[in-house]
Structure 1
Amino acid sequence: MTEEFKVTMLGHRGVGKTSILTAMYEQFDETFKDTNLQLTPDPESSALLQERVGQLKALLDDFEATGGLEGDENPRSFYFDLGKVGAKPSMKLVFQDFPGGYINNNPKFVENAMEECVAVLIAIDAPALMEAGGKWNDLMNRPKQICNFFQRSYGNLQEPKLVIFVPIRCEKYLQNDEDAKKLLRCIKSEYEQLFNFFKSEKLLTKIACVITPVQTVGTVFFSSIKPETIDGKVQPHFYFRKMSHDAGYTPKDSDQPLRYLLSFLLQLHHGKKWGKFNFIRQLFNLDKYLLESARKSAIKCKTSGGFDIVQGKDKLFMDK
């Protein structure tokens, strides 16, 4: 039986969860080209994600672009088999995506998803965080509400977890080291309550936490915000512009969340026994090729230029 690892995508409506997963999918071949591993989606996941890749690329059709993709109205699970090229898969990765409105309308579903997964990926809308003094951050990114979900779901944590903060639409904020440092400072400031929760005595030894920016298009930069009134409520509309009229689709760093996930699983293999994840040691021992391939991928995890291991480096395989 192929072992299964679940990753939950977490974020409010419109922050870009679907865009992250799509960009990751589009870069799978590039991520594993040096390892001879293949990550193969099931037919339904493949068809939907290929359609979403086309939509991401279509953002470049107009000089003034939208910021990302529309999310689904229903929860979806995307299934991927991971293993050696041409061989039987060694493991299955499942990315669980759900409508952003669920954090308001179906919180129990979200909490259950968080409890059963090995990793949580938190999508962060970077312009909402960075622009207008962070005026729209609480509305779009909901940092306190996100923290409350972790407080309820991780209150009696027994197994290790990986939490990946993924700012997207962040092309403007990664042009130089100073801008990248400012992005990190803002994330750590706005999510301070959540980071402090992770650092608590009960959780410090169980949670690895990293920040991995993803440029889902690469050539579309934030331009302006125009508030609009929708159903009597003021909502921000974010506008973006291509860096040039002939700019192409060049996503950057969409491989990093997956590399960190493999790094986390690899370190679980090397570390002490962890409850229901004990089988990871056996899995890697039985498949030496998977062990070496995961190692090759993990050593390419970035730790500078906007990337940071906030805590739990000992829970990540960082052989550098």
Structure 2
Amino acid sequence: MTEIKITMLGPSSVGKTSLLTAMYEQFKDVASGTRLQLTPVGDSGILLQDRLSELKNLPDTFTSIKAEGGISNSNKVSVFKFDLGKRGKNNSLLTLQFLDYPGGYHKDKQEYLTQQLTECVAVLVAIDATALMEEGGRWHDSVNRPQQITELFENTYINLDSPRLVILAPVKCEKYLQDSESLRKLHKAIRESYKNLLNHLRSEELLTKVAVVVTPVQTVGSVFFSRIDVIEESPQFVFRKPNAAAKYNPKGSEQPLRYLLSFLLKRYDEQRAWGFFKLILALLNRDTEFKDAIRQFTFACVRDSSSEVVQGQLLLTVD
């Protein structure tokens, strides 16, 4: 079995588990025309089912959990695994392992974190869009910790021996995807607020090795930012449903997976044995039906007008 590691970065309350839940739940619909099947492994399925139940039963008005403790306030690494295989077959061909690290690792376990990020094919950075966009981005630094995330990349993306994929995924962004002008402002805010990170990734040594994508994800789809209540100098972000009948309706949650698989498929098309991509070459050479199903699934990347490839288009383009 071939296992691919993906690091997830972002504050503890930004919605990383909700993103994975929506990705898994929406995959059933968007991949229905292919032979692909995505199955959570072990405790991952239980955690995702619990979160799905919460998302489907959100009250009409609710407050997001306050972000604190840096990238994550947990004291252990959270691991979510998905098996990707062919529908109707009792065998997993590819395992996707999503890793969510505690914020304390940034200071206390730098060597371990550096090693893990180096081993990961892709990094998924979840961004709280409300903290970024509201009140002129007043709460962006304290909630999203962009400088902390930038430092992680500066310490790990050095002398890369194979290509990498970085996905910036704004979540809680329903309000900013209602028209083209709002979407333009969201993308502009990301480019400006993550300028230091993007400058590092487009440096001469990394420009041809790192693909960077911005792809907004509506993890609920039926809730919209309402207001910010400041309690003891900390923001509480309040969200509301447009009406009592609004149901759980995620949008765009499959896009990070489309880009990830497109990135892997491009490595296969190049037929270059880059580091851990040797396993991908062997797998797809062995199973052409699986390769063709992945290719069919990834074609929809270009049809999503809310996404933007910031750099590395050639690392993602699949013929």
Match of 2:137 in 1: 134
Which amino acid in structure 2 is aligned with residue 41 of structure 1?
Answer: P
How far is the alpha carbon of 1:106 from its aligned partner? 4.7
- Mark the CA change 1:188 to 1:309 in structure 2 (over 3 Å): closer, same or farther: same
Distance in 2 between residues matched to 1:133 and 1:221, nearest whole Å: 18
Match of 1:66 in 2: 63
Distance in 2 between residues matched to 1:262 and 1:286, nearest whole Å: 17
Distance in 2 between residues matched to 1:309 and 1:35, nearest whole Å: 25
How far is the alpha carbon of 1:107 from its aligned partner? 4.4
Q: Pick from 60, 79, 82: which aligns with 2:81?
A: 79
- Check whether the contact 2:8–2:100 (CA below 8 A) recurs between aligned residues: yes
- Check whether the contact 1:14–1:100 (CA below 8 A) recurs between aligned residues: no
Match of 1:56 in 2: 55
Residues 124-273 of structure 1 aligned to structure 2 (within 5 Å): 124-229=127-232, 234-271=233-270, 272-273=272-273
How far is the alpha carbon of 1:48 from its aligned partner? 1.3
Distance in 2 between residues matched to 1:99 and 1:145, nearest whole Å: 13
- Check whether the contact 1:181–1:305 (CA below 8 A) recurs between aligned residues: no
- Check whether the contact 1:162–1:264 (CA below 8 A) recurs between aligned residues: yes
How far is the alpha carbon of 1:103 from its aligned partner? 4.0
Secondary structure of 2:244 counterpart: coil
Match of 1:121 in 2: 124
Deviates most, 175-184 or 36-45: 36-45
Match of 1:306 in 2: 306
- Mark the CA change 1:176 to 1:111 in structure 2 (over 3 Å): closer, same or farther: same
Secondary structure of 1:147 counterpart: helix
Distance in 2 between residues matched to 1:143 and 1:259, nearest whole Å: 25
1:29 aligns with 2:28: yes
Instruction: Name structure 2 gaps, 5 residues minimum.
Output: none
Q: Deviations over 1:170-208 (max 9, x none)?
A: 000000011101100000010011111111111011101
Distance in 1 between residues matched to 2:258 and 2:301, nearest whole Å: 6
How far is the alpha carbon of 1:108 from its aligned partner? 4.3
Which amino acid in structure 1 is aligned with residue 316 of structure 2?
Answer: L
Secondary structure of 1:260 counterpart: helix
- Mark the CA change 1:121 to 1:237 in structure 2 (over 3 Å): closer, same or farther: same
Q: Deviations over 1:274-293 (max 9, x none)?
A: 23312322211111011111
- Mark the CA change 1:8 to 1:159 in structure 2 (over 3 Å): closer, same or farther: same
Task: State the 4+ residue runs in structure 1 displaced beyond 6 angstroms.
Answer: 68-72
1:293 aligns with 2:293: yes
Q: Deviations over 1:25-59 (max 9, x none)?
A: 22221232111111111231111111111111122
Distance in 2 between residues matched to 1:248 and 1:301, nearest whole Å: 26
Distance in 1 between residues matched to 2:204 and 2:302, nearest whole Å: 27
- Mark the CA change 1:45 to 1:111 in structure 2 (over 3 Å): closer, same or farther: same
Number of residues of Structure 1 aligned to a counterpart in Structure 2: 312
Distance in 2 between residues matched to 1:255 and 1:8, nearest whole Å: 17
- Check whether the contact 1:256–1:302 (CA below 8 A) recurs between aligned residues: no
Secondary structure of 2:54 counterpart: helix
How far is the alpha carbon of 1:247 from its aligned partner? 0.8
Q: Deviations over 1:231-287 (max 9, x none)?
A: xxx211100111112111111111101111110000010124423312322211111
**Percentage of identical aligned residues:** 47
- Check whether the contact 1:118–1:161 (CA below 8 A) recurs between aligned residues: yes
Which amino acid in structure 1 is aligned with residue 137 of structure 2?
Answer: G
How far is the alpha carbon of 1:66 from its aligned partner? 2.9
- Check whether the contact 1:13–1:140 (CA below 8 A) recurs between aligned residues: no
- Mark the CA change 1:176 to 1:105 in structure 2 (over 3 Å): closer, same or farther: farther
Which amino acid in structure 2 is aligned with residue 274 of structure 1?
Answer: W
TM-score, length basis structure 2: 0.92
